[in-house]
Amino acid sequence: MPAVTLTEVARRAGVSPATASRVLNGSERKPAAEIAERVRAAAESLGYIPNAQAQALARSSSGLVGLVVNDIADPYFSSIARGVQAAAREHLRTVLLIGTAGGPAEERRAVEAFAARRTDAIVIAGSRSDRPQDAADNEALSRETARYLANGGHMALIGHPFPGDQDPAVRVISVPNRDLARELGRRLGGEPFDDYVVVAGRGGLVTSDLRTEGFQQGLADAGRSPAGVVRTDFDRDGGFAAAPGIAAAVRTAHDAGRRTCVFAVNDRMAIGLVAGLREEGLRVPRDLGVAGFDDIETLRDFRPALTTVRLPLEEMGRLAVETALGDASPAEVTGSVVLRRSTQGPAHT
């Protein structure tokens, strides 16, 4: 059955299509109340569904907020999404979500899709990449962003700005990844460990690189030698895949009477690492210490309780919406180191 058209509604109401459009699409030019009521009654009786894009043009607002995340199944992003949803609801907006596999190419396509739907604001949550092979895609993302902004859009990034020159119209909710990781390294550098290892994402992933650098600086602050670095995928499976190599190193250190602490640069990697170590016959914290970063909601049920860096994830999502819509200034969020059982000594097992 074909969709009911605006022309049919106008005919039923006895008005012109332009008048029917002004009533149903929210134009500031309002016809008389009796005419408006007749048009709405005709639309309801025919089962007419208004055209959202036409409404956006008439109102200069779509009532939509676009959210771009790497992986909605990741508790890090789902917590941010919850904050975005809450803030959007308060601003009488509806959230549209696009999940990507990460990387500027897919983010550019997401921005293009949201721009075509005239979303009032776009929030992008995900690590930037400064790998040379992503340079062309980063430039394309910046161009698409500039086009969207020039057409009246608003944008906020959570974490870090785009590589290169940053359009001042793009608001950034900054996360002090390096400083927080440095504090974690300083604190764990004061614990009774002898060797340290960082399980990091692939090189060029800005969030991972900053957390790795910060942790190394914190160890240096504590008078410790640099940690070894293992590169893997920036997710749970990456942590799991790193476990056999870590286990071999831990056993070698143990035979020499040395105790090891591993910092996985996000909690999902830490969770995967602990699961992989368990399959290798090692237990945390009995055989080694493990720490993560983010304090995702999943950790409430994870054992042993994981040492991590707590970020206000929902608040980050809320701030991004409020900043993008112009109600708040760009800000840097704060976090805190939380020491838990996973980095305690074997006497606590």
| 72 or 226, greater pLDDT | 226
Domain co-membership, 168 together with 203? no
CATH classification of the domain holding 254:
3.40.50.2300
Least confident of 26-30, 127-131, 232-236: 26-30
- Evaluate whether residue 12 is within a structural domain: yes
* CA-wise closest residue to 297 among 312, 318, 276: 312
Cβ atoms of 102 and 70 closer than 8 Å: yes
Give φ, ψ of 205 to 5 degrees.
-85, 110
- Evaluate whether residue 192 is within a structural domain: yes
Domain co-membership, 168 together with 79? yes
Question: For residue 50, what pLDDT band results from cuts at 50, 70 and 90?
Answer: low
Task: Check residue 348 and give its pLDDT.
Answer: 47
| 121 or 164, greater pLDDT | 121
* Domain final residue pick, 174, 193, 227: 174
- Evaluate whether residue 202 is within a structural domain: yes
Domain co-membership, 90 together with 43? no
Domain co-membership, 129 together with 206? no
Question: For residue 261, what pLDDT band results from cuts at 50, 70 and 90?
Answer: very high
Domain co-membership, 84 together with 31? no
- Evaluate whether residue 337 is within a structural domain: no
Q: How far apart are the first and last CA of the chain?
A: 67
Query: Rounded mean pLDDT of 93-98?
Result: 93
Domain co-membership, 118 together with 46? no
Q: What is the DSSP letter of 232?
A: -
Share of the chain above pLDDT 70, in %: 89
Domain co-membership, 294 together with 187? yes
User: How many domains are contained in the chain?
Assistant: 3
* CA-wise closest residue to 293 among 249, 230, 250, 234: 234
Question: For residue 1, what pLDDT band results from cuts at 50, 70 and 90?
Answer: low
Least confident of 9-18, 202-211, 306-315: 9-18
Domain that holds residue 231: 177-310
Q: Which two tokens stand for residue 37?
A: 């009521």
- Evaluate whether residue 268 is within a structural domain: yes
CATH classification of the domain holding 21:
1.10.260.40
Round to whole Å and give the CA distance between 289 and 146.
Answer: 46
Cβ atoms of 36 and 23 closer than 8 Å: yes
Domain co-membership, 198 together with 127? no
Q: Is the pLDDT of residue 46 over 90?
A: no
Domain co-membership, 124 together with 238? no
Domain co-membership, 68 together with 54? no
- Evaluate whether residue 233 is within a structural domain: yes
Task: Check residue 27 and give its pLDDT.
Answer: 62
Q: What is the DSSP letter of 12?
A: H
Q: Is the pLDDT of residue 249 over 70?
A: yes
- Evaluate whether residue 139 is within a structural domain: yes
Domain co-membership, 156 together with 193? no
Q: Is the pLDDT of residue 58 over 50?
A: no
Cβ atoms of 159 and 174 closer than 8 Å: yes
- Evaluate whether residue 262 is within a structural domain: yes
| Per-residue pLDDT tens digits for 311-347 | 999 999 999 999 999 766 777 899 999 999 999 976 5
Domain co-membership, 112 together with 53? no
pTM: 0.83
Q: Is the pLDDT of residue 13 over 80?
A: no
